[in-house]
Amino acid sequence: MHDTAPSSTAIRRSSNTTLAGIATALGLYLAAVVIGAPQHGRDLLVAAQAAHQEHGDDADHGRAGHAAVAVDHGDDPEHADAPAADNAAKGGHHADAHAEPHADDGHAAHHEAGPPPPAWAVIPFVLLLGAIAALPLIPALAHWWEYNSSKLLVAGSLGLVTLVYYLLLHGEAIEQHFPAHGVVDPAPSGLSWGIAGTVLANALLAEYVPFITLLFALYCVTGGVRIEGDMQATPTTNTILLALGAAMASFIGTTGAAMLLVRPLLETNHERKRVVHTLVFFIFLVCNCGGCLLPIGDPPLFLGYLQGVPFLWTFSLWKEWLTVNLSLLAIYWVWDSFFAYPRERLADREIDRVTARSLQVSGLTLNLPLMAGVILAVALLDPSKPLPGTDWHPWIFLREAVLLGLVGCSLWFGSTDIRVKNGFSYFAILEVAALFVGIFVCMQPALALLNEHGASLGIRSPGQFFWTTGLLSSVLDNAPTYLVFFKTAQSLPVDGDLVAGVEAGRLAGISLGAVFLGAMTYIGNGPNFMVKAIAEGAGVRMPSFFGYLLYSGGVLLPVFALTAWLFL
């Protein structure tokens, strides 16, 4: 990763390009509204829900992977069989085979999907995740891998291999997820363009577009806020900054909170020599463990929201959130108070004291309401549910259009000087976009296989889901790992409350494992590497990959073990 400081001219030029792209996207959406396309997609989704409800609740205990109703016991009792995304019908993942198929798809059929792909079809997915984990660590390839064009080349090529499999070799019917549930048959002969197109729509339109649009909105809006100052870097001051970041992470995203606070933390600790542990705990708390209370907090949870998990369900994890974050803050305060801070030179501590100045915040007047708008858009503009107090369901992709509009307001009306001081660039979000376009395509065979065979993996209890999801989230990206085990849990027999087709305890284990254990390595969650790069650009010598593991293994694993013992 590069932590360059773009010039005012470069930021203004890139912002103008982004604004032009947003204007084009909104113009195309408006044109689609004029011809009725988003409305038609919404109507298909609502019709599929109504058709499913007519078949009653018996479908809840039907074929594995087709649990029908996502119940939030108190928060959203009417949440039905459609994803909370504006374009992915939850019925596409969980509805029974009787849900109404896409009315305009000539290949749609009123029957269940056929057998899943063979196990070897997941090879592109495994190779892509392996590349994400390994290529940054190989000296000969690490520099090449830093370029987003390289990441896009690898991700796009492996995604294309997956699509070629569906085009040439997959001879079974598959489920259609966008905009509503259906079943698409393969072509009787020749190339199965309908199958390949359906897989592409499932991956990109149903999941990738909502996912990357939310991250883009959070990244850009928080990039317009500047917190600067140089407080006295005492253990208590640093602990307060870490606690503030952990609290903010669930509401503006781990990426947004990390980008907002990492530079003030570095400026505050500029006079100190022992600051590595502070940055490591910042990654633990702000980049990961603080983000589990809302779907916008961490990418895995937003994928769960797209699969039908109610927006406020993750607030039920507040006890686990509080336990982990308070424990880490207490460990940090003890570490800094009794081991790190007393070893700082007296001269450095005195310079720190006399040069201290209070924090100043700029850009908040504009961007705070925009952040609130992001939260409201995600919570309310769900086409699978009517707006509160009305019978009107939002159109397909209306939420994404609103999010792009909020980004446009931040860029158009916000201060370029603030973004220059923040070192703002689009590199990090483009990196995520490049990688995930391949991930979402490549993981389609894996999801189909887990949907069919997940019950045979032997993972049953919430604790097992916590550790299995978490340990894989440590070495792979935590967002696709979450989705894989989410689908696995859907395929299991249930004996308790259901949330989006998953037993509530298992869903808690999956959610906590993906969010918390994403902190175990630099590659577990996107902001981890971003903070490492920014810190190194500021002169902090961060631990190596394995050096970081010594911190995380010694600090995090005992805290996570205690949390799992108490709550799972």
pTM above 0.85, yes or no: no
pLDDT at 274 over 80: yes
Judged by DSSP in three states, 108 sits in strand
- Residue-wise pLDDT tens digits, 161-189: 999 999 999 989 998 888 888 889 998 88
pLDDT bin (cut points 50, 70, 90) of residue 449 is confident
Give the pLDDT confidence score for residue 97 in this predicted structure: 33
Q: Where are the alpha helices (DSSP H) in 191-288?
A: 193-200, 209-222, 235-268, 276-285
Q: Which residue has the higher pLDDT, 352 or 405?
A: 405
- Residue-wise pLDDT tens digits, 219-254: 899 889 988 877 888 999 999 999 999 999 998 889
pLDDT at 37 over 60: yes
Domains of the chain, by residue range, sit at 8-56+77-96+109-442
Residue whose pair of structure tokens reads 């887990």 in the numeric block: 450
pLDDT bin (cut points 50, 70, 90) of residue 48 is confident
Judged by DSSP in three states, 211 sits in helix
Q: Share the mean pLDDT of the chain.
A: 84
Give the pLDDT confidence score for residue 103 in this predicted structure: 38
Q: Which residue has the higher pLDDT, 422 or 24?
A: 24
- Residue-wise pLDDT tens digits, 361-393: 899 999 999 999 998 998 889 888 888 889 999
Largest CA distance in the chain: 80
| Tokens linked to 192 | 């199965």
DSSP secondary structure code for residue 117 in this structure: P
Q: In what side-by-side order are the strands of the sheet with 182-184?
A: 108-109, 182-184, 174-176
pLDDT at 313 over 50: yes
Burial 387-422 (b: 16+ CB within 10 A, else e): eeeeeebbbbbbbbbbbbbbbbbbbeebeeebbbbb
Judged by DSSP in three states, 69 sits in coil
Give the pLDDT confidence score for residue 94 in this predicted structure: 38
Query: Which amino acid makes up residue 388?
Result: P
Least confident residue range of 78-82, 200-204, 260-264, 544-548: 78-82
